[in-house]
């Protein structure tokens, strides 16, 4: 965990340092700044209330917050872009109380060296996790995820192709991906693909579950960001990753898929709406399978889907 926090704090330090450098650059009145930054903070709300409603219903309140920030540097040969994307949401109902319904912490930093007009040698660092525990609702005593459980760290070396200003395609044949499960109970259960604990016949732990799993393979990342029509912006990111040394040779060309797409609709300076969808597939991550009567029948890999439609306040800077 100390190493994880060190990496995280170092990454935050890089962002702060770049912000300071950007500020210093802006003080040079006679110099065109190589730095560009942009951010967006969004709050969306939804409230439903009932009083003497004959058809029934449940009072509820939903609140979601999103914060996105990017800092970019470009000169004749070197370029870098650092992005921070966070989200957190809650739902409050009269029946079940307060629950978490969204949780995201993602930071990415890409450093490129230009070799042609549309091609760069590139190093990419990517971190993904969440802020707080997740539970197996309606049972809020069973934790199924936590801060850095899982956490995903990816370090990739390759080439970045930019055929258009709004599109980049990164191909890395040498990419390390590391899965961290900091919660020992989840590690013992073998969650998120780590090696589970081994037990004796009495149920005592012989060796605890591993908190860390490393993979080495290919990483393919496509980024798209464009104003498709007036006041409508589309941001999409597709990541594919495989493991050259998967224990099962037949899985060595299976790719994990991570795809996020956002449609931002700007209404005016302070109001906006959002459609967001996130697709995940990882054959090492097993989800519960149920029959038609809701009885759990086993576990297996499945496409995971999260979507969010929201309307609310938006602040850009």
pLDDT in tens, 35-59: 999 999 999 888 888 776 777 777 8
pLDDT in tens, 137-180: 777 788 999 999 999 999 999 999 999 989 999 999 999 999 99
DSSP string, the chain: -HHHHHHHHHHHHHHHHHHHHHHHHHT-TTS---EEEEEEEEEEEEEE--SS-TT----EEEEEEEEEEEEEEE-SSEEEEEEEEEEEEEEEETTTEEEEEEEEEEEEEEEEEEEETTEEEEEEEEEEE-SS-EEETTEEEEEEEBTTBTEEEEEEEEEEEEEETTEEEEEEEEEEEEEE---HHHHHTTGGGPPPPEE-TTS-EEEPPPSEEEEEEEEEEEEEEEEEETTEEEEEEEEEE--TT-SSGGGTT--EEEEEEEEEEE-SSSEEEEEEEEEEE-TTS-EEEE-TTS-EEEEE---EEEEEEEEEEEEE-
Query: Which band of pLDDT confidence, cut at 50, 70 and 90, is reported for residue 240?
Result: very high
pLDDT in tens, 203-225: 899 999 999 999 999 999 999 99
Going along the chain from its start, the domains and CATH numbers come out as 36-316 (2.40.230)
What is the reported pTM? 0.81
């Amino acid at each position: 965990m100390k190493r994880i926090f060190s990496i995280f704090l170092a990454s935050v330090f890089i962002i702060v340092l770049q912000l300071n450098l950007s500020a210093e650059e802006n003080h040079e009145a006679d110099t065109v700044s190589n730095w560009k930054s942009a951010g967006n903070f969004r709050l969306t709300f939804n409230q439903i209330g009932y009083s003497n409603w004959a058809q029934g219903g449940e009072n509820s309140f939903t609140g979601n917050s999103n914060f996105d920030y990017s800092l970019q540097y470009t000169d004749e040969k070197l370029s870098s872009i650092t992005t921070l994307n966070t989200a957190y949401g809650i739902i409050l109902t009269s029946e079940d109380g307060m629950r978490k319904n969204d949780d995201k912490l993602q930071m990415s930093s890409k450093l490129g060296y230009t070799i042609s007009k549309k091609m760069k040698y590139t190093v990419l660092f990517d971190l993904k996790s969440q802020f707080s525990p997740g539970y197996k609702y309606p049972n809020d005593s069973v934790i199924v995820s936590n801060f850095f459980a899982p956490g995903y760290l990816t370090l990739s070396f390759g080439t970045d192709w930019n055929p258009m200003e709004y599109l980049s395609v990164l191909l890395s044949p040498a990419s390390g991906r590391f899965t961290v499960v900091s919660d020992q109970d989840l590690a013992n259960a073998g969650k998120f693909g780590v090696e589970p604990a081994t037990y004796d016949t009495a149920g005592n732990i012989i060796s605890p579950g591993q908190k860390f799993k490393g993979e080495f393979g290919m990483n393919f990342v496509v980024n798209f960001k464009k104003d498709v029509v007036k006041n409508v912006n589309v941001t999409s990111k597709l990541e594919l990753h495989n493991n050259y040394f998967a224990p099962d040779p037949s899985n060595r060309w299976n790719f994990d898929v991570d795809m996020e797409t956002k449609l931002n609709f700007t209404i005016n300076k302070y109001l906006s709406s959002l459609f967001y969808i996130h697709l995940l597939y990882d054959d090492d991550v097993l989800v519960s399978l149920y029959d038609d009567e809701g009885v759990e029948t086993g576990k297996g890999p499945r496409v995971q889907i999260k979507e969010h439609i929201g309307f609310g306040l938006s602040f850009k800077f």
